[in-house]
Structure 1
């Protein structure tokens, strides 16, 4: 095992942060990249990454890793240090208000113009040609701020990985994931092992979040050159939402670490017996079919449905109680599907999105991601 540090640009005199990456197994085979807590106040993944590190160390010592795995347990040291009056502000960078999981370097734009001359009729040669172009393009970038240097460091660690797992969580949620529909056949075993209640698929949610800039580049290259040159799914990149922010326990962390190890065993990365594939709780749905449940008025928020449950259109999801007027406003589902996430607040202001339901029918257009 190797430990590497990656210095970020110092934002002010006398201060500097760095990323720490842990490297296990031999190079030359598959490469797996796993990071946690890019939104720094989403901590379940950090504990899962710690558990995984212990397992990978044991597997490496036993010679059971068939490639390299990189683990970055703290993917956002900037956000980890943002606290205001006792509240942790880990989703947005305090200086720019930018979401830490947006605005990564667009690999499609960086490599599209430079790879065509190097593509052949061999899919493996093309994989390496694209990854070489990615490395060269990323090496040419000059970050100007601490935030940009953090993004670039993470991409340099992960651009050539066969599997990229970005471990997040929601406010209050069931286990779910986000992925590119082009790679769903390779993601489905992971969804089964982790017990994903919702698998939300989209080709481009907009905003260049971390998982998209990996797999979607390969989709874009296939759309442009695929009829003449065979191109693989060069990166199976997935955002894994490890339930809710308060679901931090040793039991959950070990359960989730084992699920990821089962998936890597299924892919042949770990030299171990492969656990049987569990049933998929619910089929995948388009991210564009995820319907928000929005509060039209203010009030105390009382949920009437739990996360991870199937909701029929028109079914009550929550009540808003006005203790001044005795008015109770019931919020009903506008689509049928799985209630996969809900707000952690229990007081709603007018216009607050209090829950999300994974509907089967796509209806949203434009940018699908919240701020």
Structure 2
């Protein structure tokens, strides 16, 4: 194992932050990149990364790693320092208001003007052309803020990975994940090992989140050049939502870390025989089929349905209780699906997104992610 340190731009006098990456296994084969807690207040991923470090060290010592696995357990030291009155605010940078998991470099846009002349009829050759161009383009970027330097450092570590796993969690949620529709056959075993209750598919959810910029790069290039030159899927990229912010336990971390190990064994990054695939409880669905439930008024929020189970259209999801007027408003979904995430607050404010239901039919367009 090798440890690398990646300094970030200093935001203010007397401060300095850096990223730490841990590199296991030999270079030259498949490359896997795993990071945790890009939203700094989403801590389950850090504990999973801690569990993975021990597993990877043992596998490396046993000679079972067939490729390089890069692990970044703390992907957002900037957000970790945003403690306000004892509350960790890790989703948005307080200086700019930007979501830490948006606005990464559009990789295809960085290289498209110059690569067409280098492509040919060999997919493996074209993969190397794209990755070499990405290396050159990312090396040439000159970030001007600490946040931009952090995003760039993460992309420089991950741009050439065959598998990219971005570990997150939601406020209150069942295990779920996001990936590109074209990658679903390769990602489904991971969903099975994790026990995902929802698997949400989108080619471009808008906003350039971290996992998506990797897979979308290859999809975009294939759309532009695929009729003349074969462009492979160069990156299996997935956002894994490790349940809820409060779900920080050794038991969960052990389960989730082992699920990732089994998946990497199934992908032949780790030698050996992977565990049998569990059943997938619910089929993958389009992210554009998700129905956000919006509170039409304010009041005490009381959920009537549990997370991670199938709900029929019209089934009661939650009540909003106004103790002043005695009014009770019951929220119901218009689609059948799994309620995979819900707000952690129990005071609903008018217009607040209360929960999300994974429906089977796409009906939304535009930006598909929450803020």
TM-score (norm 2): 0.99
Partner SS for 2:101: coil
Count residues with an aligned counterpart: 371
Q: How far is the alpha carbon of 1:253 from its aligned partner? A: 0.2
Q: What is residue 233 of structure 1 aligned with on the other side?
A: 233
Q: Distance in 1 between matches of 2:117 and 2:55?
A: 42
Q: What is residue 128 of structure 1 aligned with on the other side?
A: 128
Q: Distance in 1 between matches of 2:184 and 2:5?
A: 33
Partner SS for 1:301: strand
Asked whether 1:48 is paired with 2:43, we answer no
Asked whether 1:286 is paired with 2:291, we answer no
Q: What is residue 219 of structure 1 aligned with on the other side?
A: 219
Q: How far is the alpha carbon of 1:165 from its aligned partner? A: 0.1
Q: Distance in 1 between matches of 2:199 and 2:114?
A: 34
Partner SS for 2:136: helix
Asked whether 1:338 is paired with 2:338, we answer yes
Q: What is residue 307 of structure 1 aligned with on the other side?
A: 307
Unpaired segments ≥5 residues, structure 1: none
Unpaired segments ≥5 residues, structure 2: none
Counterparts of residues 318-333 of structure 1 (less than 5 Å)? 318-333=318-333
Counterparts of residues 59-138 of structure 1 (less than 5 Å)? 59-138=59-138
Q: How far is the alpha carbon of 1:21 from its aligned partner? A: 0.3
Partner SS for 2:341: strand
Q: How far is the alpha carbon of 1:115 from its aligned partner? A: 1.3
Q: How far is the alpha carbon of 1:276 from its aligned partner? A: 0.9
CA RMSD between the two structures: 0.7
Q: Distance in 1 between matches of 2:279 and 2:127?
A: 32
Q: Distance in 2 between matches of 1:281 and 1:117?
A: 46
Q: Distance in 1 between matches of 2:226 and 2:58?
A: 41
Q: How far is the alpha carbon of 1:117 from its aligned partner? A: 1.1
Report which stretch shifted further, 324-333 or 69-78. Answer: 324-333
Q: What CA deviation, in whole Å up to 9, does each residue of 1:68-105 have, x standing for no partner?
A: 00000000000011011111100000100000000001
Asked whether 1:157 is paired with 2:150, we answer no
Q: Distance in 1 between matches of 2:222 and 2:163?
A: 18
Q: Distance in 1 between matches of 2:326 and 2:190?
A: 47
Q: What is residue 192 of structure 1 aligned with on the other side?
A: 192
Partner SS for 1:279: coil
Q: How far is the alpha carbon of 1:271 from its aligned partner? A: 0.9
Q: Distance in 1 between matches of 2:293 and 2:208?
A: 25
Q: How far is the alpha carbon of 1:239 from its aligned partner? A: 0.3
Partner SS for 1:253: helix
Partner SS for 2:243: strand
Partner SS for 1:57: helix
Q: How far is the alpha carbon of 1:340 from its aligned partner? A: 0.3
Q: Distance in 1 between matches of 2:108 and 2:208?
A: 11
Q: Distance in 2 between matches of 1:116 and 1:61?
A: 43
Q: How far is the alpha carbon of 1:355 from its aligned partner? A: 0.4
Report which stretch shifted further, 74-83 or 225-234. Answer: 225-234
Q: What is residue 17 of structure 2 aligned with on the other side?
A: 17
Q: Distance in 2 between matches of 1:113 and 1:190?
A: 35
Q: What is residue 251 of structure 2 aligned with on the other side?
A: 251
Q: What is residue 266 of structure 2 aligned with on the other side?
A: 266
Asked whether 1:174 is paired with 2:174, we answer yes
Q: How far is the alpha carbon of 1:277 from its aligned partner? A: 1.0
Partner SS for 1:366: coil
Report which stretch shifted further, 60-69 or 273-282. Answer: 273-282
Q: Distance in 1 between matches of 2:262 and 2:22?
A: 20
TM-score (norm 1): 0.99
Q: What CA deviation, in whole Å up to 9, does each residue of 1:251-297 have, x standing for no partner?
A: 00000000000100000111122111111111111101100111111
Following TM superposition, where does structure 1 have runs of at least 4 consecutive aligned residues deviating by more than 4 angstroms? none
Q: Distance in 1 between matches of 2:33 and 2:267?
A: 14
Q: Distance in 1 between matches of 2:16 and 2:274?
A: 43
Q: How far is the alpha carbon of 1:333 from its aligned partner? A: 1.1
Q: What is residue 361 of structure 1 aligned with on the other side?
A: 361
Asked whether 1:35 is paired with 2:35, we answer yes
Q: Distance in 2 between matches of 1:200 and 1:247?
A: 21
